[in-house]
Structure 1
Amino acid sequence: MDAVTVIGLVAGAGTTFAALPDLVTMLRRRSSRGMNPRMAAITGSFQILWVVYGAFIGSTSVVLWNVVAVVVNSLTVAAFLAFRRRERPRADAV
């Protein structure tokens, strides 16, 4: 494996898992407090474009890392929405 491939794999892993600490924190706290899902949603949207781009240029590493990143960002948004729904005061609880 050449140096360029190694750099690409390391860079892909770094950006792919950059959102993981937010997801883990939210799951540990079991709360959406302090989280903003917009960044994960925006990043995930552009990572879908990276998947398409990677497919066009035939780059397995670009496609692979960005598919994993889309999954991580989707899980972050889903967890946020689930915890947020549970934390909202219900009208009938008054």
Structure 2
Amino acid sequence: MDFITTLGLIAATLTTFSFLPQLIKTWRTKSAKDVSYVMLISFSIGVFLWLIYGFYLSALPIILANGITLLFNIIILWLKIKYRST
């Protein structure tokens, strides 16, 4: 694995897993009232487009980072909807 791919994977890991604390907090507190629907939806669309771009380039760091990030954001969005009356 070359230096640039390694660099991309490290960056992908750090940025992707930065959403994990929000996901865990939302899950534990059963509240996502401070998380914006507009941010979650627009960010998810952007991440989805990055995912398509990654597939087009066959760039593993882009595909992995954005695939996992999209999953995390969809879970947070689902939790926000699920806990909206709480």
Q: TM-score, normalised by structure 1?
A: 0.80
Deviations 1:50-73 (A, max 9, x none): 111111112122112211110000
Shift of 1:35: 2.5
Query: Where has structure 1 moved over 3 Å in runs of 4 or more?
Result: none
* Structure 1 alignment gaps of length 5 or more: 88-94
- Greater Rg, structure 1 or structure 2? 1
Whichever residue aligns with residue 68 of structure 1, its letter is I
Whichever residue aligns with residue 27 of structure 1, its letter is W
Give the aligned CA root-mean-square deviation in angstroms: 1.5
Which residue of structure 2 lines up, in the alignment, with residue 58 of structure 1? 58
Q: TM-score, normalised by structure 2?
A: 0.86
Structure number with greater CO (CA < 8 Å, separation at least 6) is 2
Q: Distance in 1 between matches of 2:68 and 2:21?
A: 15
- Amino-acid identity (%): 27
* Structure 2 alignment gaps of length 5 or more: none
Which residue of structure 2 lines up, in the alignment, with residue 7 of structure 1? 7
Q: Distance in 1 between matches of 2:46 and 2:40?
A: 10
Whichever residue aligns with residue 50 of structure 1, its letter is W
- Taking a change above 3 Å as real, the CA distance of residues 18 and 41 of structure 1, as seen in their structure-2 partners, is farther
